Amino acid sequence: MNTGSEAILDKVLRSLEKKRKRVCLTNGTIEFLLVLCASLGLISLFAHIYSNNLYFSILKTLAIAALFFGFVKFLLPPILKKERKTELAKELERVSPGLGEDTLNAALLMAETQSVKKLGVSKPLVSAHIDKVASRIESLDLSPAVPKEKIRSYSKAIAAVFVLSLTSLIFSPREFHSFLFSTKIFPPTEPYLLELADIKVNYNYPDYTEIPPQEIKGSTGDIKAIKGTNVAFEATPLKLLDRGNLVIEKGHVIPVNSEKGKIKAEFRILSSGSFFVEDKSGKYRSRVFKITMEEDKNPRVNIEHPGGDVIEIDGGEKLEVNYRADDDFGITKLMLAWNTKKGESSRLIKQTKEELKFLEGKFLWELGSVDSDPGETLEVRIKAYDNDTVSGPKIGVSNVIKVKFKNPRKKHEDILIIAEKLLDEFLDILGDEVENARFGNWPLNSDQNSDGDQTPGQSENQSDYSKINISMTKSIQEDLTSKIERSLSSLDKIVGKMRNDDFSDYTYFLELSGMKIRIQDLLDERHDLIPSFLITDLPRLDSLITKEINEFEDDILFLDSMLKGEKLRESLLYGKDTLSKYNELSELLEKLKQNGDETTRKEIAKKIEELRSLMSELTEKLSSISGDIYDGFLNPDAFESIDLQGKLDEIMKLAERGKIDEAVDLLSSLKTGLQSMIASLESGFQSFSSASLSKEINRLNEIISRIGSIEKEQTNLKGRTENLKESFLKSPPKKENLSDFLERERKKIEQLKNMLSETKAKVSPDIPESEIIEGSFLIDRALRKTDELEHWLQALEFEEALKRAKEVEEDTIGLKNLSKLFWEIAKGDREIGKSEGLAREIRQDLENALQGGTRDGQSYQIAKRQDELEKETSQLGNDIGEFQDDSSLIPQIGEKVGESKGFMRGAYDNLKKTEISKAISNQEEAIKTLKKAREETEGLLEKYQLSAKGTGLPVPLVLGNQLQQGTQGVDTGYVEIPAPEESQIGKEFKESILKALKEGSPEGYSELNKRYYDRIIK
Amino acid sequence: MKSLLFLISFFSLCINALAKEPDFEIELQSGKQYLFSGQVSEASQAADRILKLAESPDDKALAYFFKSQVEFYKSNYTKARELGEKSHALIPADKEIGGFLDYIIKVAKNGERFEEVKTEHFIIRYSHSKDSILVSYAEDVLERVYYEIGLDLESYPSEPVVVEIYPNLESFTLASTLSENDIKTTGVVGICKFNRIMILSPRLLPQGYTWLDTLAHEYTHYLIFLKSGNTVPVWLHEGIAKFEEKRWKEKKRNVINPFYETLLAKALKANNLVPIEKMHPSLGKLSSAYEAQLAFAQVGTIVDFLVKKWGNKSLVDLLNNIKEKNDYKVAIKEVTKKNFADFYNTWIRDLRSRNLKERTPQVKVKELRFEEKRAGSKDQSEDLVELDNAQAKNYTRLGDMLRTRGRLKAATYEYEKALHFDPLSPIILNRLASTLSAYGEYDKAKERLTPLFELHPEYIETYTNLGKIYLEKGNLNKAEEAYTQAISINPFNPEIHIALISIYKKLGRTDLEEFEKKVLNVLLEDDVVTQPYENTNTK
């Protein structure tokens, strides 16, 4: 067989098959495209009929169906078609008759020959047939067996359909257009897209940000700005939009204004989200634009100082805190916040109107105002508030610093330790004073016999100074001086520390301050005496030592009493703490009863341990109190009945066994015992304090009473003086005052003396002395009495003067009677008569004066009483001075009394001169200064009384009042609020005084006016 | 006394009410009379007879009840309780028997815990371990008292006398039927009641008390009961006891001391002696310690006056007469040939004639202060509360502070100053003497103590300080004497026994040295009470 023929035949047939398939496929495609274009064109045309989504949906469905049909009908068959040889043979038959059959046979035979199974056909015959068919088919034009390509024949039609369809599609409604090319088949629910062009956004930022408004042209429409920014959105819709809305996410709708083809809407950014624009009907809607809200950032704040883990500080101290803060828009205020067991507290550090973006500064934090437990640690931070008025101020919180309060009682405890040390120092000094330094124990010279059998304090050899070894004495005294200096330094330290110690009682401070001054005085005397000590100074030294012994004895007793009182007070504090813990334990037991959980049980165990520790402290404190306090002021029964430690154990056991009710009962009984103990401590403390201060309280009461009494007397006296003034006003004086009266009387006395002298001159020369001895005696006596009368009158002792006046009058009457008996005496009859008349006149004048019958007399009486009052005041001043020596800080009471005395002296002088107005003015001043002295004493008494009750005022509080005029704490001093009318009058009065000062006052008034002016200014 | 009478009357009423049989009733009355007159042995025999006579349950109840009472008087607490319970079981509804049983049970609870030591004529009981030391001292004194006071009153008990030492106030108040207030106010620390002597341990008072005198005093009461058949009025009872209480150590019986002299002088001056009538039923019931002490001074001096004027025989005759006549006024007239008013007035005249002085003008009779369970202060200033004068207190406090810091001479100076304000204060004088002796001024120290032996003989520190002085000076016998005196006030101070050990060692008195060592060991041991004393209400 010729294999070449077979190959040719196979090749030709294959080529034919391929050609035929290609043409069929091309034709199918063309037909499909025609269907596609036609259907699209048609539905595009039909889309103009209705603008309805459903309709569009139907059209789209039809189009799809047409396409499907076209595909199935025209495109799919050629793709799937597989040419059969028989069909090919048929086509070849059309090219050349018989060719088809031959070709088919040849193909079959070729297959047979290649088969394993023998057909029993001759191969050569087969080859020949194949060769024949191959050569024939090779020689023939087989193109008629290939179908015609339609593209050529239908090219124009296809082009027309394509153009028409495309045109129709392009001009179809936009919504249809978009729907058609969308993946959706069913009618869409969403509105149609509203195209927007030329978008412009105007940002108007919140005022607080101080950012200028901003316009963005050609914006994408997406918004990004800080919260609270007002946004104006402007755009040109591509579809005519008369009315519409701008819809913000979550349904907030803003109407859109349409003008000149542009739409406008404004809204405020309050959160991130999105928005779109739609027409009124909701049919058209723009794309969704994004809103991005930018947050105002929290301020940043930092505490830069102090650093470290925990800052330990005293309660009364001030802590300097440095800070730095910033914010993107501005800070309005800074607050300091701290946490205690009782919760959070805060205070304002700074508030600014400028709303600065950056703040830096420092402040002093007074920790005294912080309410916290001793030893508690505070967590402190600064909070910065920004100026965000939209969302409210944002808070920035700083780093935390930890502040631990030193135990506030620590300072007080330190003071007490120094006080105990001081007590020892004083005892050492007292011991030295008595044993080594006191007179009688002074070292004797070595050659002298020192075998004295003296007891301390004896001074048998006081006068025998020569025996004393001066250098050794001096050396001992120098040692003693050093000790006193050291003790004074300790005392000074205590007084200094007490000034800032809230637990130190003011009255103790007062006493210790007085003690310091007294010891300083003694020390000064020592410094004056010892360095240049001589044997002649021994008596002075002896006196000094006696004073020092007395002083240190008193001081030791005071310190001892103070320390005992403090221990008692500490015991009381521990007692109260213990009671408070009992209450907590009671609550815990109740809690355990409710829940029975293990945590509560553990808390109970912990609380019991705390109680045990407190009880131990309390027991220690109580045992350290000396017996006389214990026995004298505390009720021992209150301490006997409670076995606190043992019962605590029992409570714990009961709680562990779950017998809560029994534990609660036991605790309750224990609490009652404890309460009784605390009550005993409290009353004991008060009794002790009261007993310790009773001496001072009594003395102050006495001073107040005495000042009050003088004040009352002075007020009465002023009343009397005013009445006198009234009398003068009603009936003006005949230019006569007390001095005039005295002058007048003095002249009368002078005349009387002259008359008596003349009488004596007339009577005596002629008569022997022995015969007229009686008359002569009377004249002499009358003369002597007249001298005395003059003396008493000058001394303003009117009573004495009156007595003498009466005696003189009696003598003159006696002389007159004698003159009737003796002619010699009768020679002086006229002079005697005149003498008698003058004596009577003087006597009557004096009687009138004393009875107040005359204004001179009244003036005299008032002056006399004024003088007496001045003396009483002077005595009071001296007594206060003595008291002040003990407690030198009594504020100016003595000075006030002294001033009052000065005014009384002035009033007395004025009264003597019948300067009534001046006297009243002085009396007024005396009353005022007395009143001030009394009020200050009452204030002091009040402080002592509070101390006696165990609620004495703390030193810093009182000193704060005194020094800072009540800027902190409560001023317990008396304050007189002037009546409104006083203020009004005061103004006029001040003016008149000022005028008077300028113009010059009458003599005696200028100083008064000045003082008064000073006072009212104060 | 009042309680005793009440109890006896109460028994009598019960017995009368329930008695059925004439013999039974006669025996019961007779038994009651024996008991009332202190004839306990006779009462006991009668009780046995009564028990035999009792037939009905009620009679038996009464018989048991009486027997219980007799056993109680014989200090057989357990037996008394058992009999009381039998009686109560027979008539449970009887409130009186129930109440009495309640009391007996409480007393028995304490009584059953007693340890006892028997001497020839006494049974001494105690329950606190430390109180055991009292026994050695008490037995010697009691035996002496037995002979001395027995001789004076011509009376010697045939049965051993029970002496009970009570360890605390609660048990003493229960047993004595005195209230705590009575004890504190009037200072009663011993009582003779229910046929026995009961005293409070001196351990309970910070300064102790003259407990050996108290034993002698109460024993005198016992003898008077015995001798007079309980017919002597309280004032005379106390007068004779006061008169005899120091008999064991002093030949001469002298009631008047500076303290009593001052009280009497003041009372005579103010004409406010305590009326005899007011002393009934007990001196312990007087309104204040001052009044009680004045009453003691009065009645003591009345007896003293009687003996001095009519001789010791008059005292014995008086007791016999009172027993016979059961009327002290008649008896006094028999003995003195004076009616009572005359006798009383004669005594007052005698007192006035003695020209008594207010020897201690600042005399103050204070209430009893019991030892508290707390530590003393380091400067030993607990007793300053006893000083009334504030200045004296201040200077003493200064002295104390200086003394604790070793500034002895300076302390002396301050004590001297304190004495200026309270010249006879035993506290200050003792402080001063102690400080003086601390730096070798023994003679001065002794001199300072001298007035205290007379003015404050009960003040223990005076004897311990004196003992120290003698010891330092090497006068061992005198030192022993002083310390022995201190023991008679408060033997619980270890310092005394330490000193005595040293003295006996030096004297070569090994037996006494060993004895004191034993005592010291007991004192230094921890407190041991046989069982805690309870004031329980449970039966």
Among A24-38, A262-276, A568-582, B255-269, name the one with the lowest average pLDDT: A568-582
Closest Cβ–Cβ partner in A455, A457, A626 for B379: A626
In a shared domain, residues B121 and B252: yes
Contact A560 B402 (CB under 8 A): no
Q: How far is it, in rounded angstroms, from Cα A133 to Cα A127? A: 10
Helix (H, G, I), strand (E, B) or coil at A664: helix
User: Could you tell me which residues come within 8 angstroms of residue A93 by beta carbon, excluding any fewer than 6 positions away?
Assistant: A99, A100, A101
- CA-nearest residue to B376 within chain A is A627
- Whether chain A has a CB inside 8 Å of the CB on B373: the answer is yes
More confident residue, A89 or A59: A59
Residue closest to A429 by CA, chosen among A258, A547, A302, A596: A547
SS (H, E, C) A2-41: CHHHHHHHHHHHHHHHHHHHHHHHHHHHHHHHHHHHHHHH
Q: How far is it, in rounded angstroms, from Cα A484 to Cα A437? A: 13
Q: A50 vs A44, A45, A173, B131, B247, CA distance in Å? A: 11, 10, 10, 130, 150
- Per-residue pLDDT of B63-104, as tens digits, reads 999 999 999 998 888 899 999 999 999 888 888 788 888 888
Contact A456 B394 (CB under 8 A): no
In a shared domain, residues B128 and B219: yes
In a shared domain, residues B260 and B310: yes
A764 DSSP assignment: T
Closest Cβ–Cβ partner in B372, B381, B409 for A628: B381
User: Could you tell me which residues come within 8 angstroms of residue A397 by beta carbon, excluding any fewer than 6 positions away?
Assistant: A301, A381, A382, A383, A384
* CATH classification for the domain delimited by A738-851, as one of 3.40.50, 3.10.105, 1.20.1250, 1.20.120: 1.20.120
Q: Is residue B529 part of a domain?
A: no
Q: Note the pLDDT of residue A678.
A: 78
Using a 10 angstrom Cβ sphere, with 0-12 exposed, 13-18 middle and 19 or more buried, the burial of residue A130 is buried
Identify the CATH number of the domain in which residue B64 sits.
1.25.40
Among A440-449, A494-503, B242-251, B505-514, name the one with the lowest average pLDDT: A440-449
Provide, as residue numbers in chain B, all residues whose Cβ is less than 8 Å from the Cβ of A433: 410
Restricting to A residues 611-630, those with a Cβ less than 8 Å away from any Cβ of B are 622-628, 630
More confident residue, A239 or A441: A239
More confident residue, A302 or A155: A302
- Whether chain B has a CB inside 8 Å of the CB on A496: the answer is no
Provide, as residue numbers in chain B, all residues whose Cβ is less than 8 Å from the Cβ of A424: 405
Are the CB atoms for B224 and B258 separated by under 8 Å? no
Using a 10 angstrom Cβ sphere, with 0-12 exposed, 13-18 middle and 19 or more buried, the burial of residue B341 is exposed
Provide, as residue numbers in chain A, all residues whose Cβ is less than 8 Å from the Cβ of B383: 627
- Per-residue pLDDT of A534-586, as tens digits, reads 888 888 888 999 999 999 999 999 999 888 888 888 878 878 877 887 888 88
Q: B122 vs B137, B138, B143, B242, CA distance in Å? A: 13, 10, 8, 21
In a shared domain, residues B74 and B103: yes
Shortest distance, CA A567 to any CA of chain B (angstroms): 13
What is the DSSP pairing of strand B196-200 with strand A192-194?
unpaired
Restricting to B residues 407-426, those with a Cβ less than 8 Å away from any Cβ of A are 407, 409-410, 412-414, 416
Provide, as residue numbers in chain A, all residues whose Cβ is less than 8 Å from the Cβ of B376: 627
Q: How far is it, in rounded angstroms, from Cα A943 to Cα A951? A: 9
Please compute the mean of the pLDDT values over residues B250-256 and round it to a whole number: 83
Residue closest to A155 by CA, chosen among A22, A26, A18, A66: A26
Provide, as residue numbers in chain B, all residues whose Cβ is less than 8 Å from the Cβ of A553: 394-395, 398, 414
Contact B377 A639 (CB under 8 A): no
Percentage with pLDDT > 90 across chain A:
11
Are the CB atoms for B159 and B124 separated by under 8 Å? no
Q: How far is it, in rounded angstroms, from Cα B251 to Cα A565? A: 53
Closest Cβ–Cβ partner in A427, A622, A624 for B405: A427
Please compute the mean of the pLDDT values over residues A640-659 and round it to a whole number: 72
Shortest distance, CA A548 to any CA of chain B (angstroms): 14
- Whether the per-residue pLDDT at B539 is higher than 50: the answer is no
Q: How far is it, in rounded angstroms, from Cα B496 to Cα B464? A: 7
Provide, as residue numbers in chain B, all residues whose Cβ is less than 8 Å from the Cβ of A694: none
- pLDDT grade for B345, boundaries at 50, 70 and 90: very high
- Whether chain B has a CB inside 8 Å of the CB on A453: the answer is no
The CA angle B88-B94-B95, to the nearest 5 degrees, is 105
Among A128-142, A295-309, A318-332, name the one with the lowest average pLDDT: A128-142
Residue closest to A258 by CA, chosen among A275, A243, A247: A243
- CA-nearest residue to B436 within chain A is A455
In a shared domain, residues B102 and B132: no
Q: Note the pLDDT of residue B303.
A: 95
Q: How many domains does chain B have?
A: 3
Q: Which helix (H) or strand (E) holds A157?
A: helix A155-170
- Whether the per-residue pLDDT at A867 is higher than 60: the answer is yes
Q: How far is it, in rounded angstroms, from Cα A154 to Cα B174? A: 146
Sign of CA dihedral B246, B250, B251, B257: negative
Are the CB atoms for A247 and A278 separated by under 8 Å? yes
Restricting to A residues 548-567, those with a Cβ less than 8 Å away from any Cβ of B are 553, 556-557, 560
What is the biggest distance separating any 2 CA atoms in chain B, rounded to whole angstroms?
A: 84
Residue closest to B446 by CA, chosen among B457, B427, B433: B433
Q: Which helix (H) or strand (E) holds A377?
A: strand A377-386
A464 DSSP assignment: -
Question: For tokens 């394509």, what's the residue?
Answer: A162
Are the CB atoms for B299 and B275 separated by under 8 Å? no
Q: Is residue B531 part of a domain?
A: no
Q: Is residue B60 part of a domain?
A: yes
Identify the CATH number of the domain in which residue B214 sits.
1.10.390.10
- 3-state SS of chain B: helix, strand, coil percent to 5? 65, 5, 30
Contact A627 B377 (CB under 8 A): yes
Highest mean pLDDT among A103-112, A389-398, A1002-1011, B405-414: B405-414
Provide, as residue numbers in chain A, all residues whose Cβ is less than 8 Å from the Cβ of B391: none
Q: B490 vs A213, B31, B108, B384, B486, CA distance in Å? A: 105, 41, 28, 20, 6
Neighbours of B481 (CB within 10 A): 15
Q: How far is it, in rounded angstroms, from Cα B266 to Cα B288? A: 16
In a shared domain, residues B323 and B217: yes
Provide, as residue numbers in chain B, all residues whose Cβ is less than 8 Å from the Cβ of A623: 374-375
In a shared domain, residues B297 and B182: yes
Are the CB atoms for B117 and B124 separated by under 8 Å? yes
Q: Is residue B46 part of a domain?
A: yes
Closest Cβ–Cβ partner in A427, A557, A632 for B407: A427
Please compute the mean of the pLDDT values over residues A161-182 and round it to a whole number: 80
Identify the CATH number of the domain in which residue B516 sits.
1.25.40.10
Contact B398 A556 (CB under 8 A): yes
User: Could you tell me which residues come within 8 angstroms of residue B140 by beta carbon, excluding any fewer than 6 positions away?
Assistant: none
Q: Is residue B538 part of a domain?
A: no
b/e burial code for range B389-422 (CB count within 10 A of at least 16 → b):
beebbbbbbbbbbbbebebbbbbbbbbbbbbebb
Q: How far is it, in rounded angstroms, from Cα A629 to Cα A686? A: 12
Contact A430 B410 (CB under 8 A): yes
- Whether chain A has a CB inside 8 Å of the CB on B45: the answer is no
Please compute the mean of the pLDDT values over residues A825-835 and round it to a whole number: 83
The range of the structural domain enclosing residue B335 comes to 116-353
Whether a cis peptide bond, with omega within 30° of 0, leads into B258 is: no
Q: Is residue B337 part of a domain?
A: yes
- pLDDT grade for B403, boundaries at 50, 70 and 90: very high
Contact B397 A560 (CB under 8 A): yes
- Whether chain B has a CB inside 8 Å of the CB on A456: the answer is yes
Q: How far is it, in rounded angstroms, from Cα A381 to Cα A370? A: 14
Contact B398 A639 (CB under 8 A): no
Are the CB atoms for A953 and A695 separated by under 8 Å? no
In a shared domain, residues B132 and B38: no
Size of interface A-B (CB pairs under 8 A): 82
- Whether the per-residue pLDDT at A27 is higher than 90: the answer is no
Q: Is residue B82 part of a domain?
A: yes
Contact A627 B381 (CB under 8 A): yes
- Whether chain B has a CB inside 8 Å of the CB on A524: the answer is no
Provide, as residue numbers in chain A, all residues whose Cβ is less than 8 Å from the Cβ of B410: 430-431, 433-435, 456
Contact B413 A455 (CB under 8 A): yes
Are the CB atoms for B340 and B248 separated by under 8 Å? no
Q: Note the pLDDT of residue A450.
A: 40
- Whether chain A has a CB inside 8 Å of the CB on B168: the answer is no
Read off the amino acid at residue B492: F
Contact B377 A430 (CB under 8 A): no
- Whether chain A has a CB inside 8 Å of the CB on B440: the answer is no
Shortest distance, CA A647 to any CA of chain B (angstroms): 18
- Whether the per-residue pLDDT at A437 is higher than 80: the answer is no
- Whether the per-residue pLDDT at A446 is higher than 70: the answer is no
In the listed set B92, B111, B130, which residue is the last one of a domain according to the structure? Answer: B111
The CA angle A147-A152-A153, to the nearest 5 degrees, is 80
Shortest distance, CA B276 to any CA of chain A (angstroms): 36
- Whether chain B has a CB inside 8 Å of the CB on A420: the answer is no
Provide, as residue numbers in chain B, all residues whose Cβ is less than 8 Å from the Cβ of A457: 413, 416
- Whether chain B has a CB inside 8 Å of the CB on A455: the answer is yes
Closest Cβ–Cβ partner in B373, B383, B412 for A456: B412
In a shared domain, residues B57 and B120: no
In a shared domain, residues B342 and B386: no
Are the CB atoms for A869 and A902 separated by under 8 Å? no
b/e burial code for range B503-525 (CB count within 10 A of at least 16 → b):
bbeeeebeebbebbbebbebbee
In the listed set B307, B333, B353, which residue is the last one of a domain according to the structure? Answer: B353
Complex-level ipTM beyond the 0.85 threshold: no
Which stretches does DSSP call E strand in B69-204? 115-118, 122-126, 161-166, 190-193, 196-200
Mean pLDDT of chain A, nearest integer: 78
- Whether chain B has a CB inside 8 Å of the CB on A639: the answer is yes
- CATH superfamily entry for domain A190-294: Immunoglobulins (2.60.40.10)
Best of A561, A626, A643, A694 to disrupt the B interface (most B CBs within 10 Å) is: A626
Topology classification of domain A300-406: Immunoglobulin-like (2.60.40)
Q: Note the pLDDT of residue A443.
A: 66
* CATH classification for the domain delimited by A567-694, as one of 1.10.10, 3.30.420, 1.20.120, 1.10.3470: 1.20.120
Helix (H, G, I), strand (E, B) or coil at B149: helix
In the listed set B82, B111, B140, which residue is the last one of a domain according to the structure? Answer: B111
- Whether chain B has a CB inside 8 Å of the CB on A251: the answer is no
In a shared domain, residues B294 and B154: yes
- Whether chain B has a CB inside 8 Å of the CB on A645: the answer is no
Q: Is residue B218 part of a domain?
A: yes
Joined together, the tokens standing for residue B42 give 């006779």
Residue closest to B294 by CA, chosen among B275, B320, B312, B307: B275
- Per-residue pLDDT of A347-375, as tens digits, reads 888 888 777 888 888 888 877 677 776 66
Q: Note the pLDDT of residue A313.
A: 77
Q: How far is it, in rounded angstroms, from Cα A920 to Cα A911? A: 9
DSSP letters of A300-333?
EEEEEES-SSEEEE-TT-EEEEEEEEE-SS-EEE
In a shared domain, residues B482 and B347: no
Shortest distance, CA B188 to any CA of chain A (angstroms): 21
Are the CB atoms for A624 and A568 separated by under 8 Å? no
- CA-nearest residue to B374 within chain A is A623
- Per-residue pLDDT of B321-344, as tens digits, reads 999 988 899 999 999 999 999 999
